Structure formats: structure tokens, C-alpha cells
Amino acid sequence: MRLLGSGGAAASALPTAISTPVRGALHAKPSRTPLEIGQEKQLFLDDQIIESMEPRVFKLLNQPVRYPDNPVIPLGTDWEQKGGLSHGGDAGTVLYDPEDKLYRFYGWMTSWPPAGRSVRKFIFYAESEDGLHWRKPPLGQERYLGFDTNFIRLPFLGDASPGNIGVFLDPAARRRQERYKIVFQRRQDGKRGHYPGYSADGVRFQPYPVSRPAIPFHSDTNNNPIWNPATNEYLIYHRTHPRLDRWFQPEPVYPEGARVRTPAWAVSPDFLDWDGPSDKREPEERYICCHADAADRVGDRDFYTLEVLPYGGGMVGFTSVYHNLMGQIPAGTDLGKARSPWVDRIDVQLLWSRDARRFERVGDRRVFLPNGPEGSWDEHLCYTVQAPIVREDLGEIWIYYEGFGGRHLFKTRGEQQRGQVGLAILRLDGFVSITGAGSLTTRPLIFRGNRLRINATGRDRYAGDGHGTVKAALLDGETGRTLPGYGLDDCRPFGSDSIRHTVSWRGGADVGALEGKPVRVRFQVRRAKLFSFQFAREPV
């Protein structure tokens, strides 16, 4: 089962991941207000904990490594080959059920060719014991082309399309029969939108008896419901289509009145009564998660989806960016001879949020999950699946994604897309690392515990251990002076690879005497990568 090394570094069977240097906060205004972090892991996705960085120290956006045996959920069954179009719902849901010890995938599949402008959508189901080898069990719910399929049917919809569904396993479910939650599209009492439902087994679903939809309009992309444990509330991340000139002046590429796809949120205390945007094309500002602006590279201005992962005191977001060059090279009329090779393609950028509502793009808006190489099954489109699976046992994050060897406007082009599901693997905490040559100093922190742990690597694939090093010093939170016995010269340098290395000084590793007091942490890096740090409590 192990795909990467003990510290998450790429094994010899995998290609090398690509990292991108990112501008960091060099000299933030010193803060005297301590930040209480307890024993929570601290990442470097934003600058909240950073007070200063020396000029030769910078942030690095790290890309995940594709699994060598992709796609893990390929096309191949008779009904897929004879007329199915696997599309994954831009791009569906993957989850792990610890009771059944099963990974489950939910997406959708459409028939081909489309009937006019419409396509028929089916809920596509697959399952796996290890997350790598998947099966598509016949469920006896939906026949297609004469075959018993792995499609899930929502009988209360009749033959109506369930739309772009979202499924998750609810850790806060009040009753066992509501362990699984779903959002699906329907028209009820004249109100069209996405409605909530539930299931005990994740295969047979029922609607909740609600009078109004969770999302009061059609959101034709991934609609991702989650439970947020930090705030004890449900959220759905979906897509709106507002005017771009709400945020910056019109320009030739995006003239006045042009609209841009962008994600929004809706919230509920009980999964039944929802607060969110009232209109798809004119959503209220406060519900918008992120949007394009004048700092975007031309063409990088449509955000199809927002998949989220509760992680490290916030939400890591993954957005599929649609490159369309509206007004210059209309994607619908470009028949594969684009003047720019990325026109009508979709790749993935990384986002981060502290409040689960407003997201900022990470890594200078560079690509986190790129398209595959020319001629590959994921050459043109990549959508991340909701949500990545955190494998603490392996020191990895498994990021499933839907890939396509066909461009976005496939119907205009007359192309049949062949979407399949792949896996990309990231080191635990590995989204953004601190590297270079110099020091980073945090703002004053108040921690709980008696040990300082770091997730870091000084290992080089050619030079081995010791190519880079990380050291840490503890400073007085008020004066900024180095605390006796905890200086950089006292610290034992770390040059190996570990996701949980305990920092030690000449006097040992115990920092319990500083618990509850404001301290700054100064990290010194030399060609190493520092991914995260955390104070923890260990038996003495």
C-alpha cells in the first residue's frame, strides 16, 4: 500500500513532483499580540503566523505526484464503451466509510450523443477496499443499453435528471439512517434548485421533506456539501455566474457585461434550512468565495468548482480554472487549432480560507494540479474530486481527480469526452513549504505541550540526507530575545526526512516550561523544505 517514503518523499517508482517558488511576506509589521495555537498544526498557506522572512527565504508551492497506474477508475465496461460518457460531475465525490471499510466514489455519467442541447445524467457509483483498485458493482437500480449498471437511481425523481449531485458521510448525523447526505436537482412546487436528501447505506437515498431548496437555482457543476467541525454547521460550495465588472473595469478581453463562473457558499445548522445566494447571476457579495480580478493572467478567469478539505485550522480549497480567452479566441469556435495551447482547457489552483467562506488563492495563482502530457487521458481537463483523503498512516494526502482527453466545449466540437478518475499524491502538509537560505520568524505564539515537532526534509534524491538542514530557536514573545538554551546554535540540525521530527537542543527537547507563555519561533533553513510545525505533548 505504501506509495511514498516514510516522510512522504517520492519513491523511485514515481516521477518527481514539481515545485514553484512563491513570493512570501518578507518583513511584516511586528505583532505584539500573541496568537493562541494550542497544539494545532501550523501551515504556511497564508501569512497569519509569519512576522518576518529574510530575503533569501521563500514559499514554495508543491505539486502532487500522479499515481503511476492511473487512471484508477478507468472506462471499460460494456455500457460505457457502447455509449456512456463518464464525466464525474465536474468531478464528483470520494469518501471513506470506516464502518464498511470501503472507499466510495459518486459522480455522474451522461449518454452520448446528447439529445439536442440536453444530456441524460446518471449517478455513477464505484467502490474499493484500498482506494487503488475499484469495482463498479451492478446495483439493480438502473438499466442502460440492456445492462444492469452501477448507476444509482433516485426513484422519487422519476426520469428527471438528478443534476450535479454531491454526497458526503456526515459525522454529525443524528440518526443512523441519515449517515449519508446528498444534494440533488429537482423542481418542487415550481421551485427549481438543489435539494437535500439522506441515506443509511450510501446507495439508496430519500429526500428530506423541505419546502424550499438548499440552492435556489441550477448549479451545473460539483455541488459539495460538507460538515464543518470547527463551527458545527453544514456548508455547500456551488457555482454562480455574476458580472465580472463588479470587481474591476471592463477591458477588451472581458467587455462590459461579461460574466464569470465563480464559487459561492450556502450554510445550514441542520442540513434542512439554508442561507445562501438568492440568484445565480446576481449573487449577494457576501456569499462569493473567490472571484477573478485584474491580477489574473488573461484567460485564467473562470472558476468551475470549489472542492474543500478541512485541514490545519482552516479549509484548503481546490478550484478548477477554465482557460477560455473570451473575446479573443472564442473557445467554442476553436476546433483544436488554438493560438494558445491552453485555450479551452481546465487545470487546478490551490486556495485557502480561515473562515470557510472567503478563499484566497495560494502560490501566486500558479497551477497546483496541471494537465497531463500530450496524448494522455487527462491532457485537456482536470477537476479535483471532493474531497482529498488524508492518509495519516502513510504520511500522504490522496487527491482524486477527473481527467479528460478532450476539451471543455466537447459538444460544440462534436467530440465525445472520455472522462476517467485518477489519483495524485501529496506529502502530508505538503501544499506549501518554506525553503531557501535564511530565517523565518513567527509572531508571538501561545502553545500547549512540551515538544516542538516539524514536518521537514533535508534529503536530496541524489545527495541523500544532509543536503539541506532545518534548525529552530525559541524567542521571548515580548522582547524577541533568544531564550537561554533554545538558540539556533544550541539546536541540533535536522537534515533527514520526517513528517514528525521532534526538535531538540543541547539541553534536550523539553519545552514544557514555556507552555502558556508568548514565544516566537525562528526557523533557519538551508536548502531544506519546512512544511509545518506543531507543539505536542509527549510523556516525560
Q: What tens digit of pLDDT does each residue of 116-166 get?
A: 656 677 899 999 999 999 999 999 999 888 889 999 999 999 988 898 899
> Which pLDDT value is given to residue 292?
85
Least confident of 67-71, 214-218, 364-368, 451-455: 364-368
Hey, where are the domains in the chain? 22-61+432-536, 65-427
- Helix (H/G/I), strand (E/B), else coil: 91: helix
pLDDT greater at residue 87 or residue 504? 504
Check whether 3 has a pLDDT greater than 50.
no
The pair phi, psi for residue 531, each rounded to 5°, is -95, -35
- Helix (H/G/I), strand (E/B), else coil: 177: helix
pLDDT band at 23 (very low <50, low <70, confident <90, very high): very low
Cβ within 8 Å of residue 83, ≥6 positions away: 111, 112, 144, 145
> Which pLDDT value is given to residue 137?
95
Sign of the Cα torsion 14, 15, 16, 22 reads: negative
The rounded distance, in Å, linking the Cα atoms of 107 and 163 is 10
% of the chain beyond a pLDDT of 70: 84
User: Angle at Cα 468 formed by Cα 462 and Cα 470, nearest 5°?
Assistant: 150
pLDDT band at 244 (very low <50, low <70, confident <90, very high): confident
The rounded distance, in Å, linking the Cα atoms of 197 and 183 is 6
Q: Is the pTM of this model over 0.95?
A: no
Cα–Cα distances in angstroms (integers) from residue 486 to residues 33, 57, 455, 461, 508, in the given order: 22, 22, 19, 31, 10
- 273-329 pLDDT, tens digit per residue, is 999 999 999 999 999 999 988 777 666 678 989 999 999 999 999 999 988 765 555
The rounded distance, in Å, linking the Cα atoms of 413 and 431 is 36
Check whether 207 has a pLDDT greater than 60.
yes
> Which pLDDT value is given to residue 364?
87
Q: Do residues 206 and 219 touch, judged by C-beta distance below 8 A? A: no
Q: What is the mean pLDDT of residues 349-362?
A: 96
> Which pLDDT value is given to residue 95?
97
Q: How many whole angstroms from its chain centre is CA 32? A: 33
- 60-70 pLDDT, tens digit per residue, is 999 999 999 99
The rounded distance, in Å, linking the Cα atoms of 500 and 100 is 30
In this structure, what C-alpha cell is assigned to residue 285?
457579495
Cβ within 8 Å of residue 281, ≥6 positions away: 240, 241, 242, 259
> Which pLDDT value is given to residue 30?
61
Q: Do residues 309 and 348 touch, judged by C-beta distance below 8 A? A: no
- 400-437 pLDDT, tens digit per residue, is 999 988 777 666 666 667 788 999 999 999 999 999 99
Least confident of 43-47, 120-124, 196-200, 444-448: 120-124
> Which pLDDT value is given to residue 384?
95
Beta strands in 50-116 (DSSP E): 50-53, 57-62, 65-66, 84-86, 93-97, 102-111
Note the helical H segments in 4-144: 78-81
pLDDT greater at residue 149 or residue 333? 149
The pair phi, psi for residue 151, each rounded to 5°, is -85, 140
Q: Tell me whether domains 22-61+432-536 and 65-427 share a fold.
A: no
The rounded distance, in Å, linking the Cα atoms of 145 and 167 is 26
Q: In 3D, which of 353, 350, 351, 292 has the Cα closest to residue 323?
A: 292
- Helix, strand, coil tally for the chain in percent (to 5): 5, 40, 55
The rounded distance, in Å, linking the Cα atoms of 458 and 496 is 5
> Which pLDDT value is given to residue 13?
32
Q: Which residue has the cell 439522506?
A: 198
The CATH homologous superfamily of the domain defined by 65-427: Glycosyl hydrolase domain; family 43 (2.115.10.20)
For residue 15, count CB atoms less than 10 angstroms from its CB and return exposed for 0-12, middle for 13-18, buried for 19 or more. Answer: exposed
> Which pLDDT value is given to residue 400?
97
- Helix (H/G/I), strand (E/B), else coil: 176: helix
Q: Which residue has the cell 456512456?
A: 84
Q: Looking at the DSSP assignment, which residues form a beta bridge with residue 35?
A: 445
Cβ within 8 Å of residue 217, ≥6 positions away: 192, 193, 277, 279, 280
Q: Do residues 382 and 346 touch, judged by C-beta distance below 8 A? A: yes
In this structure, what C-alpha cell is assigned to residue 264?
459561492
Beta strands in 116-255 (DSSP E): 121-128, 143-144, 147-148, 151-152, 166-169, 180-188, 191-199, 206-207, 224-228, 233-240
The rounded distance, in Å, linking the Cα atoms of 489 and 473 is 8
CATH of domain 22-61+432-536: 2.60.120
Q: How many CB atoms lie within 10 A of CB 526?
A: 16
For residue 423, count CB atoms less than 10 angstroms from its CB and return exposed for 0-12, middle for 13-18, buried for 19 or more. Answer: buried
In this structure, what C-alpha cell is assigned to residue 76?
471499460
Cβ within 8 Å of residue 76, ≥6 positions away: none
Q: What is the mean pLDDT of residues 16-44?
A: 69
